[in-house]
Amino acid sequence: MIQPEAQSLEQAVPLPVPVVAREARGLKLFRRAGHKRLRTDERVALWVSRIIIIAVILVFLFPMVYVVGTSVQGGLLFNTNEILPTSFTLQHYQDLFSQTGFLTWIRNSVIVCTSIGVLTVALVATMAYAFSRFRFRGRKYGLMFLLLIQMFPAQMSFIAFYYLLNRIGLYDTLQGLILVLLGGGLPFNAWLFKGYIDSLPRDLEEAAYVDGASKLQAYIRIILPLTRPMMAVIFIFVWFGMYSEFLVTSFLITTPDNYTFAVGLFGFINQQFLNNWTEFSAAAIIGAMPLMLVFLLSQRFLVAGLARGAVKG
Amino acid sequence: MAAITAPAPGGLTRSRRKRFLDGIYPYGYIAPSIAFMVIASFFPIIFTLYISMTNYGQGHILSFSFVGLKNFVDIFTTFDVSVFIGVFEWTVAFAVVTTLSCFTGGLILAYLLNNENMWERNIYRTLLIIPWAIPGIVSMLAFQGIFSYFGLADNLTGQLGLGQPQFFNDPFWARVVVLLVGFWAGYPFMMTACLGALQSISPEVMQAAEIDGANAFQKFFRVTLPLLRTATLPLIISTFAYNLNNFGIVYFLTQGGPATSTYAGATDILPTYVYKLAFNLRLFGLGCAYGVVIFLIIGFFSSINMKLSGAFEQVD
């Protein structure tokens, strides 16, 4: 599938690009634009740009390459005298699975992130549809309420969450954590989803009504399938955001069995595991690599999704 | 405000019962989400306001009482106002510098990448986005190791004959590292946004400027930048609001240290400071009072951003 070029994040609907033009643009990746002779100043500008960009890439990605090296290095500490590892061992990866709660943390993170992702998509898809398609009493106040909630950083309520979860007996449970983390992202994602539905033509549903579909059928059979790309974008971004969540989680979770990846990894170097950098590196790589690949492979799709749902400026 | 219902086909022949059902139909879609947000988002915010007026916390966990505005007064008087002012100043400085550096760096990289002659630019773009694709907890903790005492950075500067500043033990260098890492983590988003905005500028405008004899600098500052402003200004402000609240970078890198007073360190921003007050000292009432202050500060910037991005007009 050809993804539309990334538009400005502000542009609500990308301009339709003829298919032929899109394919031509896609092909450019594999073909040197060199059939057109460059002027000397253009060539200088091109090579200066290249050198700057490559230098930036080397400097910025070096720290992460260094972490990969550290994960296969013997001992406990970062190898501070050499840039490349001086020995090779997979011991740290083995220890990670046999001696730490790493698998439990990953499992808990997958439970929390997936639950919040699915619930966010379900809540937002229904709410955004009503706000986009119906005019009803209180609609304006509903949207104002969304903006109001969005204004305040939800995580700063963490002390209130602590008290309230203790009162209803959900303190130090994954269910309680999911409950309090779910709320924060709803308003922003509702706007994103509403913007996306706004961009779908109303004729689609009207054609369905003419064919005898009920309102619910038009929603489930026509609108929902069309919003699948937006659902995927929201799901992925929620997953990413929650995967690194630490503030609320560390405050509400105390039992190591309930640690998420972020809390467990933090403990690796700051609490009981005391500066075990080599094992940390192994954990960091296994914990980050799958997400990084998903993100990079879907980057065009993610950016286009954000652009299509964004509030029009 | 008048209730406007979409004219439905055959509206006149409908029974009253059907009309009533149509009227309440939209509420079925919004009720679950709105109810959830009232309980799980709105109520905790109100409850934070309430706790901020109690002595809830160490020594008063099980039974706490209402103390009025005492915690707010404490922030500015007995609790050492210089600590709060110091943290507040650094929070704003951190957010301003990080936002501007990310925007400038992101714009420059996007400008360089937006070159038709660079056939391999998609590869560069993917590599440049990597810092955004790595979960923050992972990259920040890795940087903590690299810049820690006797870590890689210390050793490299030592070998280059620049001395070993012990980055995280020195207030100045700790702040420099936080700013550098803040740039590292934040520029890919700005670069992606700027690249999208640059690609939406039509080539004709550039050609017209060229025909009028504009040089490269004039083209950039007189044509490109003004055209980018409307598209990127809301992003800059929302990034600024985000950075005021950027708990992860500071806490994972330095935990707010090195300590400059009993309660705060040189790199502490408001959220990490409040977190430490609550987590380490269990001063919940005071923490909530700070939380309310943060709500007000960030709420202010968010509302400016909503105004600029036209979110309020979308409500109608």
Distance (Å) from the alpha carbon of B224 to chain A's nearest alpha carbon: 14
Residue A190 lies in a domain: yes
Put simply, whether A162 touches B (Cβ < 8 Å) is yes
Region A17-40 average pLDDT: 53
- Confidence band for A36, pLDDT divided at 50, 70 and 90: low
Per-residue model confidence (pLDDT) at position B14: 59
**pLDDT of A15 over the 50 cut:** no
Per-residue model confidence (pLDDT) at position A227: 92
**pLDDT of A3 over the 90 cut:** no
Contacts with B129 from chain A: Cβ below 8 Å: 295-296, 299
Region B131-159 average pLDDT: 87
Q: Which percentage of chain B shows pLDDT scores above 90?
A: 38
Residue B306: closest C-alpha in chain A: A147
Mean pLDDT for chain B overall:
86
Region B167-176 average pLDDT: 91
Per-residue model confidence (pLDDT) at position A309: 65
- Is A62 or A25 the better-scoring residue by pLDDT? A62
Put simply, whether A9 touches B (Cβ < 8 Å) is yes
**Which residues form the domain of A195?**
101-272
Distance (Å) from the alpha carbon of B120 to chain A's nearest alpha carbon: 6
Domain boundaries, chain B: 79-282
- Confidence band for A16, pLDDT divided at 50, 70 and 90: very low
Residue A111 lies in a domain: yes
Give the nearest partner residue to B127 out of A57, A127, A244, using CB atoms: A57
Per-residue model confidence (pLDDT) at position A11: 38
CATH of the domain at A202: 1.10.3720.10
User: Do residues B36 and A183 touch, judged by C-beta distance below 8 A?
Assistant: yes
Residue A287 lies in a domain: no
- Confidence band for B180, pLDDT divided at 50, 70 and 90: very high
Distance (Å) from the alpha carbon of B4 to chain A's nearest alpha carbon: 6
Q: Which site among B116, B141, B250, B303 would you substitute to test the A interface, given the most A Cβ atoms closer than 10 Å to its Cβ? A: B141
Region B6-31 average pLDDT: 73
- Confidence band for B112, pLDDT divided at 50, 70 and 90: very high
Region A267-281 average pLDDT: 73
Per-residue model confidence (pLDDT) at position A215: 86
Query: Taking Cα atoms as reference points, which of A286, A284, A260 lies closest to residue A111?
Result: A260
Helix, strand, or coil (residue B279): helix
Encode pLDDT of A214-248 as tens digits.
888 999 999 999 999 999 999 999 999 999 999 99
How far apart are the C-alpha atoms of A185 and A59, rounded to whole Å? 34
Encode pLDDT of A57-69 as tens digits.
999 999 888 888 8
Give the nearest partner residue to A144 out of B117, B133, B315, using CB atoms: B315
Task: Quote the ipTM score.
Answer: 0.85
Contacts with B119 from chain A: Cβ below 8 Å: 28-29, 31-34
Per-residue model confidence (pLDDT) at position A26: 47
Put simply, whether A51 touches B (Cβ < 8 Å) is no
Per-residue model confidence (pLDDT) at position A105: 94
Distance (Å) from the alpha carbon of B41 to chain A's nearest alpha carbon: 6
Per-residue model confidence (pLDDT) at position A310: 58
Q: Do A244 and B40 touch (CB under 8 A)?
A: no
- Lookup: tokens for A34: 């060199």
Region B288-295 average pLDDT: 89
Residue A221 lies in a domain: yes
Give the nearest partner residue to A295 out of B128, B133, B278, using CB atoms: B133
The sign of the torsion formed by the CA atoms of A270, A272, A276, A281 equals: negative
Neighbours of A159 (CB within 10 A): 30
Per-residue model confidence (pLDDT) at position A236: 93
Residue A237: closest C-alpha in chain B: B133
CATH 1.10.3720.10 correct for B79-282: yes
How far apart are the C-alpha atoms of B316 and B314, rounded to whole Å? 5
- Is B215 or B313 the better-scoring residue by pLDDT? B215
Put simply, whether A58 touches B (Cβ < 8 Å) is no
Per-residue model confidence (pLDDT) at position A311: 44
**pLDDT of B124 over the 50 cut:** yes
Give the nearest partner residue to B142 out of A63, A215, A250, using CB atoms: A63
**pLDDT of B3 over the 90 cut:** no
Region B2-11 average pLDDT: 48
Encode pLDDT of B273-287 as tens digits.
999 988 888 889 988
Encode pLDDT of B219-238 as tens digits.
888 888 888 887 788 788 88
Window 112-131 of A, Cβ < 8 Å to B = 123-124, 126-127, 129-131
Residue A80: closest C-alpha in chain B: B152
Q: Which percentage of chain A shows pLDDT scores above 90?
A: 46
* Residues paired with residue B60 on neighbouring β-strands, in sequence order: B57
Distance (Å) from the alpha carbon of A291 to chain B's nearest alpha carbon: 7
* Residues paired with residue A130 on neighbouring β-strands, in sequence order: none
Per-residue model confidence (pLDDT) at position A48: 92
Domain count, chain A: 1
Q: Do B117 and A46 touch (CB under 8 A)?
A: yes
Residue A193 lies in a domain: yes
Region A103-124 average pLDDT: 96
Residue A46 lies in a domain: no
Q: Do A307 and B196 touch (CB under 8 A)?
A: yes
Helix, strand, or coil (residue B259): strand
Region B111-137 average pLDDT: 92
- Is B78 or B212 the better-scoring residue by pLDDT? B212
At residue B54, φ and ψ (nearest 5 deg) are -125, 175
State how far the alpha carbon of A146 is from the alpha carbons of A53, A231, B89, in Å.
41, 19, 30
Flag the least confident range among A55-59, A168-172, B159-163.
B159-163
Per-residue model confidence (pLDDT) at position A313: 31
- Lookup: tokens for A193: 């989803």
Angle at B225 between CA B223 and CA B230, to 5 degrees: 110
